[in-house]
Chains A and B, each alone.
Chain A
C-alpha cells in the first residue's frame, strides 16, 4: 500500500522578479516499507517538496496538488491544526548539518527525553520511574552510540557531526514514525561517518519497516540504499522507477547524464578520457526555460520540447520526455 501518494504537486514562490513555479507538477509515490531516493542537483526543489509534505508554508508560497495522501488520510482536506498533529505523530525528519538543529544550550539528555512521546510508554506503573531516561539510553544504543551515558551528559558542540546525526535519528525514531524524511543527512560528512549513517537507516528500514524518503544530490550515494528512485531537475520530475529501472535502464537524457558523469557507473571508460557532461549550468529560478526545463542543455532537444512533456509509464517506470532514450540505445552504449 502507498504510504505517500502525491499527484501534480506545484509550488509557486513570489520573488522580486515575480511569481515562479519552483516545483512544477511533481509526482511521488512511496510504498509502505520502502526506501525511496529523491535525487536532484542543488535548487531542483527537493527540500521544497519535503516541506510541502510536512505542510510547512511560508508567506508568499502557493502550494497546490491534485492529490496528497498519507496512507488513507487525505492531507488536502485537513485543517492546519489537524495537519500539524498528524505530522508530529506520523512523520519524522532529519536534516543536513544536524548540530544546527539541536539546541546548543541544552544537554542531549533533555533534548532526547523531550522527543519521547508519553504514549510510547510500555510496561506497568512501577516502571514509570525514570522510564524516559532508560528509553533514551536504549534509543542511543539502537543508533549505534557506544557510550550513551556520557553522550547524554554532553552539549551538542562537544560532539562530532556524525554523532549529532545519530542523535537526530534517535529522536526521530522515538515516536515510531510511519515515514522518515531524510533531507541530505550525510552531505558534508566524511565517508566513514556517511556509511555508518546509511547503514543505520538501512537497518531501521529492515527492522522496523519504517518507510524512508531519502533526499540527496548525489545519485551515487543514494542508489545503493534505495528500492525506488525519483529524479528531479529544476523543479520537475524527470524519471522514477525501481532502482534497476532507473540506474540500469534510464530513459530520460538527464538521468543518463547523471549516471554517465560518475566514473563508477561508466565502466568501459579509458583512463583520463573526458567524462560525459551536459553543456551549460543549472538555470536560476528567475530564468527557467519554458516546456521541458532541460531543453537548453539537452542533446536530444527538438522544437516540441518547448511543450512540457507528458509522463510515459512502462511497468511502473515513469519518464517525462518527448524523445526518451530507447532501450537498445543504452544496451549498446
Chain B
C-alpha cells in the first residue's frame, strides 16, 4: 500500500542577516523522513523551538523547504503548482481569531479557497459552503455571520470547515486545541474524530497535551532541536519511551506534588 504522505529528507534553515555582509543560518529542522497512511493521525510533539511549527508549515507549503521532497499519493509536490497542492493538503492555525478575516462574512471566508483553487459555479460553491458548515456542526445561517459574532469554539469550527472545503487528503493542525476551553475542546476533538472516520482524511497534529495525543493519534514524532528523536506507533512510544526527551516530556505531564 502506498502511504498517502511520504516525506523524504525534508529540511529547513532560515537565513538571518546581521548587518550587510554577515549572515547566519538557523536550522529550524534537520533532514527528516517519515510516512503517513490514509485515515491515520500523526502527532508531532516536542519542546518549544524544536521545529514543530516550521515542519508543519513546510509540509503545507506555507514556507519553502531548504531541501528534500514531499510526495502525496506517490506524486512529488515539487512538480505540482500551488493550486493542486492546496487541494491535497490544508492547514489550520492555532489562533482562529487572527486567522479569520474580521471583515469577511463566514460564507466569504469559506468561499475564497474555492474561488482561488477550483472552477466551480457560484451555485456549486454555495452547496459546498453549506455542506462544510453542516459537517462541522454549524448552521447554514452562519454563512451570514462575521467572525466576531462567534465563540472561540465556533471559530475553530469555521477554520476546520475552511480546511475541509477543498476535500483535501491531509489536514495539518498546529496547536489548534491549546487555546480552547475544556468543554469546547472535547467537542472539537470529537468533530475531528468524526470527520476522519467519515472521509478517511489523514491528520497531522502539533500538540502538547500527551493525554490527548495518546487518545487521538496513531503515530507520533518527538522532535528536539530540529531532529526527530523518536518516531513510532503512539501507544508504543508513550508506554515505552526510549529517548530521554520523550521521557522528560512524559514526566512533565505527570508531576505529582504529593505522594
Interface residues of A (CB under 8 A from B): 41-42, 190-192, 194-195, 198-199, 202, 217-220, 224-225, 257-258, 261-264, 269, 271-278, 281-282
Q: In the complex, what residues of B have CB within 8 A of residue A271's CB? A: 215, 235
Query: Chain B interface: which size bin?
Result: 20 to 34
B133 CB, nearest partner CB in chain A, Å: 16
Q: B interface, by DSSP: helix, strand, loop or mixed? A: helix
Given known A190-B47, A272-B216, contact A224–B183 (CB-CB < 8 A): no
Determine whether the beta carbon of A202 is less than 8 Å from that of B208. Answer: no
In the complex the two chains form, what is the Cα distance from A269 to B186 in whole Å?
A: 14
Known: A41-B183, A218-B182, A272-B216. 10 other contacts (CB 8 A): A190-B47, A191-B208, A192-B47, A195-B252, A220-B209, A224-B256, A261-B185, A269-B215, A272-B215, A282-B184
In the complex the two chains form, what is the Cα distance from A276 to B235 in whole Å?
A: 21
Determine whether the beta carbon of A277 is less than 8 Å from that of B208. Answer: no
User: Sorted from nearest, which 7 A-B pairs have the closest CB atoms?
Assistant: A264-B211, A261-B186, A41-B181, A277-B186, A275-B186, A190-B48, A263-B215
Determine whether the beta carbon of A199 is less than 8 Å from that of B216. Answer: no
Determine whether the beta carbon of B249 is less than 8 Å from that of A191. Answer: yes
Interface residues of B (CB under 8 A from A): 47-48, 151-154, 181-187, 189-190, 193, 208-209, 211-212, 214-216, 235, 248-249, 252-253, 255-257
Of B153, B182, B214, which contacts A219 at CB under 8 A? Answer: B182
Q: In the complex, what residues of B have CB within 8 A of residue A272's CB? A: 193, 215-216
In the complex the two chains form, what is the Cα distance from A124 to B130 in whole Å?
A: 77
Q: In the complex, what residues of B have CB within 8 A of residue A278's CB? A: 183
Q: In the complex, what residues of A have CB within 8 A of residue B255's CB? A: 195, 198-199, 224
A-B contact pairs, 6 of them (CB 8 A): A194-B252, A220-B182, A261-B183, A273-B193, A274-B190, A278-B183
B208 CB, nearest partner CB in chain A, Å: 6
Q: In the complex, what residues of B have CB within 8 A of residue A257's CB? A: 183
Of A191, A258, A261, which contacts B253 at CB under 8 A? Answer: A191
Q: CB-nearest residue of chain B relative to A270?
A: B215
In the complex the two chains form, what is the Cα distance from A264 to B238 in whole Å?
A: 13
Determine whether the beta carbon of B182 is less than 8 Å from that of A217. Answer: yes
B137 CB, nearest partner CB in chain A, Å: 10
Of A202, A262, A269, which contacts B182 at CB under 8 A? Answer: A262
Q: A interface, by DSSP: helix, strand, loop or mixed? A: loop
Quick one: which of A41, A199, A220, A281 has the most chain B CB within 10 A? A281
Q: CB-nearest residue of chain A relative to B181?
A: A41
Given known A191-B249, A275-B189, contact A258–B182 (CB-CB < 8 A): yes
Determine whether the beta carbon of B249 is less than 8 Å from that of A282. Answer: no
Of B154, B214, B257, which contacts A281 at CB under 8 A? Answer: B154
Q: In the complex, what residues of B have CB within 8 A of residue A220's CB? A: 182, 209, 211
Q: In the complex, what residues of B have CB within 8 A of residue A281's CB? A: 151, 153-154, 184
In the complex the two chains form, what is the Cα distance from A278 to B212 in whole Å?
A: 18
Q: In the complex, what residues of B have CB within 8 A of residue A225's CB? A: 257
Of A198, A224, A282, which contacts B181 at CB under 8 A? Answer: A282
Quick one: which of A41, A219, A257, A263 has the most chain B CB within 10 A? A263
In the complex the two chains form, what is the Cα distance from A192 to B214 in whole Å?
A: 19
A190 CB, nearest partner CB in chain B, Å: 4
Q: In the complex, what residues of A have CB within 8 A of residue B209's CB? A: 220
Determine whether the beta carbon of A263 is less than 8 Å from that of B151. Answer: no
Q: CB-nearest residue of chain A relative to B212?
A: A263
In the complex the two chains form, what is the Cα distance from A224 to B193 in whole Å?
A: 29
In the complex the two chains form, what is the Cα distance from A274 to B186 in whole Å?
A: 8
A41 CB, nearest partner CB in chain B, Å: 4
Q: CB-nearest residue of chain A relative to B185?
A: A261
Q: In the complex, what residues of A have CB within 8 A of residue B235's CB? A: 271
In the complex the two chains form, what is the Cα distance from A4 to B95 in whole Å?
A: 37
Q: In the complex, what residues of A have CB within 8 A of residue B190's CB? A: 274-275, 277
Q: CB-nearest residue of chain B relative to A265?
A: B211
B229 CB, nearest partner CB in chain A, Å: 15
A292 CB, nearest partner CB in chain B, Å: 16
Q: CB-nearest residue of chain A relative to B187?
A: A277
In the complex the two chains form, what is the Cα distance from A191 to B211 in whole Å?
A: 13
